[in-house]
Structure 1
Amino acid sequence: MHHIKLYLTAVILIWGCRTNAQEYHTTFDIRVLHPPQLVTIDGKQSAYYELFITNFAADTLAINKLAVFNGLDSTEVLSLTGKELLNQITPVGQLTFERKGVLYPGLSAILYLELSISGGQTISHLSHLLEYSFLPTESGQVRTVSGASVNLLSQSPTVFGPPLKGGPWVALYEPSWERGHRKVIYTVDGQACIPGRFAIDFMLLDEQGKYAKGNNDQITNWYGYGLDVLAVSDGVVIISKDDFPESPTLSDHPKIPAEKATGNYVCLKIDSGKYVFYEHLKPGSLRVKAGQRVEKGEVIASLGFTGQTTGPHLHLHLADRPSPLGAEGLPFVFEQFGSLGTYTDFGLLGKTPWTPNKGNRQFLLLDERPGPNTVVKFD
């Protein structure tokens, strides 16, 4: 009798475990490509980072919602649904979605996140929750998966001096651009990287917002062409490439492969794991060589039109390795610059003046990164 009681107790316990346990489903693998780091943009603490999502299920899954939580107090700091969510999702490779946000079995995608932190919030850790459904939908049942918990990098962003003189310079970038630097991934030595995560392209304008005088097919007519490029910090030159030819016109500029996208460039080491890249430089203008020490503010080259570019400008970014493609882009700020306004409609660049700040005032900003398509002046 004693043995029967033990047997019945065991059966009840096992049955209870089964009824209380959640049904297991193979779903998404969610990973953070590179730990985020806070940087001040337009006066707000912001973090740019990416979630790499792979569907390991045997079913097609549709992403319906993403929520990001502050790991310190579990408050929701970002929620994306609908079109706002789908615009942030990009498939990996040439496969296309039946519709955005739908991942077939084995398909991967990258979800690009631009997080703005409200004033007074303290965030050092983030967690993520994906809401999804199976397709075809059988009962409209929605499921969730949590993961990709990540600690924010604690160090402050690197502070740069001016890379150029005067202005007005438009700081060209926009996280949402389909083929902007933010969304271009390279694989080097078996590792996927986003070197241009925080890249900015600087183009000189006149007061009417035009970037060239007269025929803009002639690169020498562009206002910024040939102007001095400056060292943003003390450092040591790691790479100095000055053998790339330059087309005298936009129309004759050849198609350039990714491995030569930089054109003539300088890589400047300013600290351990911090390398500044200056790209598209004018042939014969480089004043520095590998191994040479430079001082902040020193002229290192001239703005040009070499490599993968649609017009003369300076491409500037900071990375964690001395490789143009095989490195992760890091955030940086400028010690100071004047903000004149912005191009809220990028299609108006070169046609009309920018939208000025309220009261047509110039704001002096300290230890900040220019906002997308902001027009700035340097000392």
Structure 2
Amino acid sequence: MTGAESRNPAHRPVVVALPFAGRWLARNSPARRIPSHGTDLLGERYAIDFIGVDERGRSATVRDWGTLFGTEPADRFVGFGRPILAPADGIVVAAHDGEPDHVARRSQLSLLPYALGQAARLRTGVPAIAGNHVVIALADGAGFVALVHLRSRSVRVVAGDGVRVGQPLAQCGNSGNSTQPHVHLQVMDSADLTVARGVPVAFRRYREWRRGAARPHSHDVGIPGEGAVVEAVAPGSTPDSEDGER
């Protein structure tokens, strides 16, 4: 299905795979609040962000004056350049590349002026917000999934390509309206982000390390909690779990 509208009028949760391997930190999760990003604009109502982390849960292994007072290079971050995978089977309906990767911002001194420029970026258009991105029409007609903030010159697909779940699409970047390398995923009822409405999303087969937990909980289907670290479970493997939750 490659049309402009979804055949999911009831807006049932769309279940997809996590779009990566390794461990990632969930931010702006719809498990915490809806709209998850504080707005319904651009189909973001149920969107979720994932930040690549190492085995110790760190998004970057270096801290210096830029961490506290300025900006940092994007390639300092664990997730920058990690492969981003197709979360479902479908047809690519949009693929945009060529937007630059920005420096990263963790300090309040650098985040405040960046936040004040949000309205101006929104007026500039979708590429200024989404950066490099891919939109896939789901094969079952349930909607459209968007993956945004991808690394410049890393997008490997074009509109019209068929993709299968787990297929490499691009790399994690820091393009568009992004202050730290991450991947933003959302499901929508339209391929056009300017008019799209968000559709609930859930993820299949993953481990989740909740805040303060030493061992993971395992889920067949769920929504990662705010601040949880998640890792996809490979097909055919048996997830280990602290409490047997599945």
Q: What TM-score do the two structures reach when normalised by structure 2?
A: 0.74
C-alpha distance in 2, partners of 1:175/1:163? 17
- Post-superposition offset of 1:210: 2.3
C-alpha distance in 2, partners of 1:176/1:338? 16
Once the two structures are superposed, residues 179-224 of structure 1 have per-residue CA deviations (whole angstroms, 9 ceiling, x without a partner) of 97442133xxxxxxx6111111000223443211214511101000
- Secondary structure, aligned partner of 2:15: strand
- Structure 1 residues 272 and 196: alpha-carbon distance in aligned structure 2, compared to 1, 3 A threshold: same
**Contact 2:32 2:225 survives alignment (8 Å):** no
Cα RMSD for the two superposed structures: 2.8
- Post-superposition offset of 1:368: 1.1
**Contact 1:237 1:268 survives alignment (8 Å):** yes
Counterpart position of 2:179: 310
| Alignment partner of 2:155 out of 275, 280, 286 | 286
C-alpha distance in 1, partners of 2:83/2:145? 16
| Alignment partner of 1:326 out of 195, 200, 205 | 195
Counterpart position of 2:221: 367
1:166 and 2:22 are equivalent in the alignment: yes
- Once the two structures are superposed, the pairs formed by residues 1-379 of structure 1 within 5 Å of their partners are 153=10, 156-167=12-23, 169-174=24-29, 181-186=36-41, 195-215=43-63, 217-250=72-105, 255=117, 257-258=121-122, 259=125, 260-270=128-138, 271-272=140-141, 274-342=143-211, 355-356=212-213, 360-379=214-233
**Contact 2:104 2:180 survives alignment (8 Å):** no
C-alpha distance in 2, partners of 1:178/1:162? 20
**Contact 2:74 2:180 survives alignment (8 Å):** yes
**Which runs of 5 or more structure 2 residues have no equivalent in the other structure?**
1-7, 234-246
**Contact 1:262 1:324 survives alignment (8 Å):** no
C-alpha distance in 2, partners of 1:377/1:300? 18
Once the two structures are superposed, residues 269-308 of structure 1 have per-residue CA deviations (whole angstroms, 9 ceiling, x without a partner) of 0143500000000011000000111111100000000000
AA aligned to 1:162 is L
AA aligned to 2:130 is T
- Secondary structure, aligned partner of 2:210: strand
- Post-superposition offset of 1:362: 1.4
Q: What TM-score do the two structures reach when normalised by structure 1?
A: 0.49
- Structure 1 residues 204 and 249: alpha-carbon distance in aligned structure 2, compared to 1, 3 A threshold: closer
AA aligned to 1:374 is A
Greater C-alpha Rg: 1
- Structure 1 residues 328 and 341: alpha-carbon distance in aligned structure 2, compared to 1, 3 A threshold: same
Structure 1 stretch 156-165 or stretch 278-287: which is displaced more? 156-165
**Contact 1:230 1:301 survives alignment (8 Å):** yes
C-alpha distance in 2, partners of 1:372/1:306? 23
- Post-superposition offset of 1:333: 1.4
The structure in which a higher percent of residues are strand is 1
Once the two structures are superposed, residues 118-164 of structure 1 have per-residue CA deviations (whole angstroms, 9 ceiling, x without a partner) of xxxxxxxxxxxxxxxxxxxxxxxxxxxxxxxxxx93x7422212201
AA aligned to 2:131 is G
Once the two structures are superposed, residues 34-67 of structure 1 have per-residue CA deviations (whole angstroms, 9 ceiling, x without a partner) of xxx9xxxxxxxxxxxxxxxxxxxxxxxxxxxxxx
**Contact 2:12 2:200 survives alignment (8 Å):** no
Q: Which structure 1 residue ranges, 4+ long, deviate > 6 Å from structure 2?
A: 176-180, 251-254
